[in-house]
Chain A
């Protein structure tokens, strides 16, 4: 069953296209990921799916409700955890949940039951009477997840749920998210720009400059890279690059003096390579592709935290294209 349907979605702001004709659907019970650098259009898409922004063009259905004409039904169907914290930190954990329950018209008895269940799930039951101000970043994020579940949403949206959290808290948070999927069969739609997190998804869209550049399971996306990755260090990188191209028809990429090639069966290729290679090689490493490699493969660029604001990035992109 399709819980989210998006057809030909376009969003333009002040003449810039943040989301550019994207189409996809999300199945019930899966963890669906949106991966891309900052400013790629991830948050814009979430804001459209959650009725906070109106699409410029295209059709969007969440839980079979139209985001333009059936806003309230869509809102009832979703739980949201925003990229930036959205708790009232002068209220207690419990008061934040109660406020949410009342806004979503959850009955009092239902709220009492749900409150304990969700607070225990994120291990905050003992802290329920504490003012949120005293919570750490990870605890706040967990409380936001608990809050998003109070009204039985059909889909839980997580916008960069682990942004700004330390690695340990991050992996903990993933335990909760995976438990949600396993125990509640919850559909989860998440965005991230961490490649290792994208691995948790059942299916994944890779988005860049508002366009879908890849859409598959993480494993299949990795397969598309073309097997293994060999990284060679050499004092003569240009020469090495040429030799690889001539002898094996390999398109090598150079970065910071190292040479990178994608190849099937790297393990058997390496001994042959060293036997035949003329150019001097000082170091070698072999690894299986990660989603980082997938991104590089698809876009020709590495994914990393961009220092420019999303708008700047969009402008640069447009500028580059015009030239």
Chain B
């Protein structure tokens, strides 16, 4: 009974997040355009100067998984802003006085962000052939699975931060501060196999690193020489999956605790 009620309440919160996302067409379009812009600018710019022929694989191909991961990261992060927004505009009170557990609120919010981020990631996958990136149909379920795991870990991190923030402005600032370092030190732009040690350490605690690493290995499997792919990869895919899972569980628990404490 308790379980069914938690699911029902989380479902209601999830549905609201989704309706709000769906009504905000500007947000849908801008979050779609942003990764493509990155791809167009960095892909073309870096390809013509820095990355000529060093990898043994095409630079756009190399970057594409990173772009997908980045898009998932920014969407998952910014979807959790709704928690801060709810606090600022009073709607959170409506949720807090309801006879539901705090866990169902945390889960509903995270699942909402995961759904939205995964849809964006999926759309980017569908666009791949247009950008002359070939996808093997069999890799689709694996890619989707990893996109969901990346979304989970980052939405949890977003909610943890959102639980601690009082205003949407401060949330936005902290997010900006996190997004770029996380993105640049994730292996999305350049392989992390030969970077200085401090960067390796940063990359090792960055969940995005594992997402990019896994997505790239799955996406480029059999499209590029195995040797070249191995050269730019960090971990076996199973290790990436394990890290993302453990990271998500730990951060969700912290987020639920922080949310509970704050409210």
A residues adjacent to B (C-beta < 8 A)? 50-52, 71-73, 75-76, 78, 80, 82, 84-91, 95, 99-100, 102-105, 147
* Contact of B261 with A by CB under 8 A: no
User: Per-residue CB proximity of B78-102 to A under 8 Å, as 1/0?
Assistant: 0000000000011101111111100
A-B contact pairs, 19 of them (CB 8 A): A73-B99, A75-B97, A86-B91, A87-B91, A87-B94, A88-B91, A90-B19, A90-B20, A90-B23, A95-B16, A95-B19, A99-B16, A100-B98, A102-B9, A102-B12, A103-B12, A103-B99, A105-B5, A147-B94
User: Considering only CB atoms, which chain B residue lies closest to A102 in the complex?
Assistant: B12
**Once the chains bind, are B93 and A82 in contact (CB under 8 Å)?**
yes
User: How far, in whole Å, are A82 and B90 apart by their CA atoms in the complex?
Assistant: 9
CB contact between A105 and one of B8, B16, B23, B89 (< 8 Å): that residue: B8
Given contacts A72-B99, A102-B9, A102-B11, contact A86 B94 (CB under 8 A): yes
Report which residue of B15, B16, B94 has the largest number of chain A beta carbons within 10 angstroms of its beta carbon: B94
| Contact B99–A104 (Cβ < 8 Å) | yes
Give the interface size bracket for B toward A. Answer: 20 to 34
Instruction: Give Cα A105 to B19, complex, Å.
Output: 20
Q: Which of B11, B16, B97, B99 has a CB less than 8 Å from the CB of A88?
A: B16
CA distance A84 to B100 in the complex (A): 22
Per the bound structure, the CA–CA distance linking A235 and B248 in Å amounts to 78
Q: Is the interface of B mostly helix, strand, loop or mixed?
A: helix
Q: How far is the CB of B144 from chain A (nearest CB, A)?
A: 28
- Kindly supply a per-residue 1/0 record for chain B positions 162-194, scoring 1 wherever the CB is within 8 Å of any chain A CB and 0 otherwise: 000000000000000000000000000000000
Contacting residues, chain A, for B11 (C-beta < 8 A): 102
Q: Is the CB of B97 within 8 A of A51?
A: yes
Binary per-residue interface labels of chain B (227-242) against chain A in the complex, 1 for a CB within 8 Å, 0 otherwise = 0000000000000000
Q: Which 10 A-B pairs have the closest CB atoms?
A: A102-B12, A103-B98, A75-B99, A72-B99, A86-B90, A86-B94, A76-B99, A84-B90, A86-B93, A88-B91
Closest to B12 in A: A102
Question: Which B residue sits closest to A80, measured CB to CB?
Answer: B97
Chain B positions within 8 Å of A86 at CB level: 90-91, 93-94
Are A50 and B12 in touch, CB under 8 angstroms?
no
Residues in A whose Cβ lies below 8 Å from that of B20: 88, 90-91
In the complex, chain B residues whose CB is within 8 Å of the CB of A85: 89-90
Q: Smallest CB-CB separation from B101: which chain A residue?
A: A72
Q: Are B90 and A104 in contact (CB under 8 A)?
A: no
Of B23, B24, B93, B100, which one neighbours A103 at CB under 8 angstroms? B100
Complex-state Cα separation, A78 to B98, whole angstroms: 9
A73 to B93, CA, bound (A): 17
Chain A residues within 8 Å of B90, by CB:
82, 84-86
Cβ of A75: which chain B residues have Cβ within 8 Å of it? 97-99
The closest CB in chain B to the CB of A74 belongs to: B99
Known contacts A52-B93, A99-B12, A105-B5; can you find 9 more A-B pairs with CB under 8 A?
Answer: A52-B96, A76-B99, A84-B90, A86-B90, A86-B91, A87-B91, A95-B16, A100-B94, A102-B12
**Minimum CB–CB distance for A81 against chain B, Å:** 10
Residue of A nearest to B20 (CB): A90
Taken together as a complex, chains A and B put the C-alpha atoms of A91 and B23 apart, in Å, by 9
Chain B, residues 4-27, CB within 8 Å of chain A (1/0): the string is 010011011001100110011000
Q: In the complex, what residue of chain A is closest to B105 when comparing beta carbons?
A: A103
B9 surroundings in chain A (CB, below 8 A) = 102-103, 105
A105 partner residues in chain B, CB cutoff 8 A: 5, 8-9, 99
Q: Are A104 and B98 in contact (CB under 8 A)?
A: yes
